[in-house]
Amino acid sequence: MKILLTGGAGYIGSHTAIELMNAGYEIVICDDFSNSKPESIKRIKKISGKEFPFYEIDVADKPALEEVFEKENIGAVIHFAGYKAVGESVAKPVSYYRNNLDTTLTLLETMQKYGVKNLIFSSSATVYGAPDEVPIKETAVVGRCTNPYGWTKYMIERILESVCVSDKTFSAVLLRYFNPVGAHISGLIGEDPQGIPNNLMPYISQVAVGKLKEVGVFGNDYPTKDGTGVRDYIHVVDLAKGHVAAVKYIENNDGLEVFNLGTSVGYSVLDMIHAFEEANGIKIPYRITDRRPGDIAECFADASKAKEKLGWQAELGIVDMCRDTWRWQKNNPNGYSE
């Protein structure tokens, strides 16, 4: 089956492209490079040793997207394309709602026109907001999002739910990612944030490479083991393999299904800093600062449903996450830019 990856040049898309090809799937990528670089496509080809069709298009550009469906015999779509910066979404809500919803609606209209009924969506643990309890199960309450980025994920989930109600032969899988980190073991692809990173791991690795002075630890007075925030960090290659498992699942099932993709293990900010230091033999200076507004104390998955129904579970640990993040950062201090 040929699989279209929207936003396939991005961090999670690029790693998923490789795992899909490793598993024998044909892929097609489209991306407008609004938050990724053409170099990423070259490197996916280098790692896999395979060629695949690539289209530089905006998924909200319907005629351009229709041309892709016209030319390629698409069997399933993995929809990664979307804006994803939490802080920016608070500053530019209209742009976030417009972009993330438009791309999804245009994609769904095009899929309907061409009779494609298999979709995997990049959702996020952000839809759970501040959870009532951890570990978080898929049945937990959703819709307490704290920012427009999170609301777009929530809204797209509801749109896909409605599509599955209206068409019983449609198959949609919502993958709720916890905190993706790490990079491909080759060191050729990884996360390439624009400007100063917002997320913890890219921030640590930019301190390690000397681009930033110290990590600000956002609060040490949370009700956690060491007072710093606890998250479920998952290696991006494990996450990518979760998509392969989801593709196999939608080949055999109709309707809507939701899966948490996490490790079920929570690490604190200080755990991550110390693990990075130990794995790579580099000192990471840090300073405790105020809490970041909107942050929660603890968030980690109950990932048992994915294990049971997809036959998938995370295999890589915190040492792999830290080692692979550093290999990518060290080899590419400026990301994909020269």
Active site residues: 149
Pick the closest to residue 56 from 78, 28, 76, 75 (CA basis). 28
Query: What would the DSSP string read from start to end of 104-165?
Result: HHHHHHHHHHTT--EEEEEEEGGGG-S-SSSSBPTTS-----SSHHHHHHHHHHHHHHHHHH
Q: Which of residues 103 and 110 has its CB atom nearest to ligand UD1 in the complex?
A: 103
Q: Which of residues 32 and 232 has its CB atom nearest to ligand UD1 in the complex?
A: 232
Tell me how crowded residue 165 is: count the other CB atoms within 10 A of its CB: 11
Q: Report the residue from 10, 13, 150, 262 that binds ligand UD1 according to the rule CB under 6 A.
A: 150
Q: Is 41 in the site for ligand UD1 (CB under 6 A)?
A: no
- CA 16/CA 241 separation, integer angstroms: 7
Query: What would the DSSP string read from start to end of 173-231?
Result: EEEEE-EEE---TTSSS----SSS--SHHHHHHHHHTTSSS-EEEE-S-SSSSSSS-EE
CB under 6 A: which stretch of 53-61, 99-107, 131-139, 195-203 binds ligand UD1? 195-203
- CA 8/CA 31 separation, integer angstroms: 6
- Burial group, residue 267, by CB count within 10 angstroms (0-12, 13-18, 19+): buried
Q: Is 208 in the site for ligand UD1 (CB under 6 A)?
A: no
Closest separation between CB of residue 1 and ligand UD1, Å? 28
Q: Is 10 in the site for ligand UD1 (CB under 6 A)?
A: no
Task: Compute how many residues bind ligand UD1; rule: CB under 6 A.
Answer: 22
- Burial group, residue 233, by CB count within 10 angstroms (0-12, 13-18, 19+): buried
Q: Is 174 in the site for ligand UD1 (CB under 6 A)?
A: no
Q: Is 190 in the site for ligand UD1 (CB under 6 A)?
A: no
Q: Is 146 in the site for ligand UD1 (CB under 6 A)?
A: yes
Residues 259-278 that bind ligand UD1 (CB under 6 A): 269
Q: Is 200 in the site for ligand UD1 (CB under 6 A)?
A: yes
- Cβ-closest position to ligand UD1: 229
Any idea what DSSP says for residue 42? H
Q: Is 304 in the site for ligand UD1 (CB under 6 A)?
A: no
Half-sphere exposure of 225 (CA within 13 A, CB side): 8
For ligand UD1, what does the binding mask look like between residues 284 and 303, x meaning CB under 6 A? --------x-xx--------
Q: Which of residues 170 and 222 has its CB atom nearest to ligand UD1 in the complex?
A: 222
Q: Is 220 in the site for ligand UD1 (CB under 6 A)?
A: no
- If DSSP codes are grouped into helix, strand and coil, which group holds residue 79? strand
Provide the Cα torsion 284, 295, 152, 235; round to 10°: 40
Q: Report the residue from 93, 193, 216, 335 that binds ligand UD1 according to the rule CB under 6 A.
A: 216
Q: Is 240 in the site for ligand UD1 (CB under 6 A)?
A: no
Residues 107-126 that bind ligand UD1 (CB under 6 A): 124, 126
Q: Is 142 in the site for ligand UD1 (CB under 6 A)?
A: no
Binding site for ligand UD1 (CB under 6 A): 86, 124, 126, 146-147, 150, 179-180, 198-200, 203, 215-218, 229, 231, 269, 292, 294-295
